[in-house]
Amino acid sequence: MKAERRVPHSALGGLFLLMAALACFAVLDTTTKVVTAEVPPLMALWVLFGVQALASGGYLLAARGVGSLRSTRLGLHMVRGSLLLAVQMLAFFSLMVLPVGEFTALAMTTPLLVTLLASRVLGEHVSPLRLLLVGGGLAGTLVIVRPGGNSLGWAILLPLGLVLVNSAYQLLASKMARTEDAVTTLFFSSLTALLLISLSLPWVWVAVGSASLWGGLLLMGLAAAGGNLLFILAFERAPAATLMPYMYLQIGFGILGGWLVFDHVPDHWAAVGMGMVAACGIAGALLTLHEARLRRGELRQA
């Protein structure tokens, strides 16, 4: 019988790992916006998934052994990898037309939409208060994009499509998490995305003579791999309900990256919308924590 892997539980340790993961994701988004201005996005994605597959596979072999690379649900891993590729493609193209901070805030509406879809797809109960918070977060996205009041036109469909596809990706991830190891899932998903994106290489590959561009491509892959691994390790050490309120720090990291690299500061209405998304997301996470405590109290009394 396979020995159970014991992970020390530490809320503070989990929080530090989560903050490091969010910083990596902000570096990924900021670097993506720089690199894809000169390198075809599909070529940049190939490098990203190549580094991520190598990093996650190497971590599994070093920390958990060859047995961790086995799975009986390769079909679901392939579907998840295809969704991951679609998510990253939409993210890359979104960052080509949106500032990093605004993009991050829009992407952070995914947990709110997942909450709404979970009631339909997974049959989970969603309280009226939670539905109100979802509505508030989605209203915040409208304040950010201001339909009819910006010059993005049809391009605004890119981040909105990202949120929808990412929601499907997260729902499948939630289902697979019940039986599959998170890092193993990350490896197979990255490998699937890498194989799919490799089909486009003959048409998108260009010569890159700049060492700084190669450095940016490598940094993207390392930030994606490091962010995902740190994210998984964080949630192994602390409960999701404890960490979720801090997820919205990523909006702050995104704004910081946009300011440092592109000298961009969100305008008044964008800041209001981002605040609405963050407030509703944090409130939703705190509500989850409160509901979990109530359930534990009921179980103790039973």
Question: Which of 28-32, 219-223, 225-229, 236-240 has the weakest average pLDDT?
Answer: 236-240
Determine the pLDDT at residue 2. Answer: 41
How far is the C-alpha of 227 from the C-alpha of 70, rounded, in Å?
23
> Mean pLDDT across the stretch 227-249?
75
- Is the pLDDT reported for residue 46 higher than 90? yes
Report the C-alpha dihedral over residues 8, 6, 114, 226, rounded to 10 degrees.
Answer: 70
What percent of the chain clears pLDDT 70, i.e. is strictly above it?
80
Question: Which of 41-45, 147-151, 176-180, 254-258 has the weakest average pLDDT?
Answer: 147-151
Find out whether 284 and 134 touch, Cβ atoms under 8 Å. Answer: yes
How far is the C-alpha of 226 from the C-alpha of 201, rounded, in Å?
25
What percent of the chain clears pLDDT 90, i.e. is strictly above it?
14
- Is the pLDDT reported for residue 152 higher than 60? no
Distance of CA 103 to the CA centre of its chain: 12
Surface-to-core class of residue 107, CB atoms within 10 Å of its CB (0-12 exposed, 13-18 middle, 19+ buried): buried
pLDDT band at residue 122 using 50, 70 and 90 as cut-offs: low
57-74 pLDDT, tens digit each: 888 888 777 776 777 777
Close Cβ partners of 213 (under 8 Å, ≥ 6 residues apart): 35, 38, 39
What mean pLDDT, rounded, does the chain reach? 79
Determine the pLDDT at residue 197. Answer: 92
pTM metric for this prediction: 0.78
Whose CA is closest to 197, among 89, 92, 36?
A: 89
> Mean pLDDT across the stretch 125-149?
73
C-alpha radius of gyration, the chain, whole number: 19
